[in-house]
Amino acid sequence: MIARNELEQALKQAGLGGTCVCVHASMRSFGDRVDGGAQGLLDAFLMQKCTVMTPAFSYHYLCNPVTDAQMPRRNAAGNYAWYREHTLTPGIYDINSKELSLEDMGVFARTVLMHENSMRGNHPLNSFAAVGEKAGALLASQTWQDVYAPFRQLCGMDGFVLMMGTDLTSATILHYAEQLSGRTPFVRWAKDGHGQVRCFSEGGCSNGFEQLAASLEHLEKRIMVGNSIWRIYPARQMSKCAADAICQDPMITHCEKTACMRCNDAVLGGPILPEDFWTRI
């Protein structure tokens, strides 16, 4: 079993005490059981005065586009056949919701979201959850059209990205790097208390993101905790270096599938949005 004090010592060794950290954690990667499980791991962060942020994405709120005017070209949706053939019955999102896509987000992200002092960003599909002193500052700027505002805040606070037994295909900040490189995030649709709303969602397929490892290697710090490999990156430098690499070689993020619609449309720059897109009916 990995004891709480071992986790706290590892956080100190990584230089994360007192910082803001976006965590992508695989609890299985530890091998030996963590004392207290995911809650024990979160407690170790909080004992070290960290503010912990995780993606809390939920596709439970996804709904259908209503009109052709809401369906831009080059939007990783092809001719929208899937949306035309499937009727979605979404829930209605608000920031107090505790719904998330557990299979994609994992147990640690759910633990952060369910914490009694957690906060959640204002985005129905791609929200972030955070716990700690600076949680509000990290999340307050997130909106339907500013999906990666929490990463902009994380960078401004000289925060970190911590991959705990996960690789760069799980590093959501690399979608923010795509945006910094000039790509427009894809548009999706969800519901809040006022009805259907269009929002920016994720960028390209993340299955090719590990190809950015060489560009980020000089920033990476690694430590072992049990069987878990922790990869630590300074968020601001990570996002900038990744964006520069994408600008130099847009295909660097492309997955191995040549027909991948998300990768192909992302490499071309993302959706083509008319100036009045957000107000068109």
User: What is the pLDDT at residue 119?
Assistant: 97
User: What is the pLDDT at residue 174?
Assistant: 98
CA distances (Å), origin 114, targets 70, 182, 217, 248: 34, 35, 34, 41
Q: H or E stretch including 141?
A: none
User: What is the pLDDT at residue 1?
Assistant: 86
Q: What SS3 string covers 104-127? A: HHCHHHHHHHHCCCCEECCCCCCC
- Strand pairing class (160-164; 195-200): unpaired
pLDDT value at 281 more than 80: no
* Mean pLDDT (the chain, rounded): 95
Q: H or E stretch including 231?
A: strand 228-234
The ranges assigned to domains in the chain are 4-279
Name the token pair of 255: 């997955």
User: What is the pLDDT at residue 268?
Assistant: 97
pTM, whole model, 2 decimals?
0.95
Characterize 58-97 residue by residue with b for buried, 16 or more Cβ atoms within 10 angstroms of its Cβ, and e for exposed: bbbbbbbbeeeebbbebbbbeeeeebeeeeeebeebeeeb
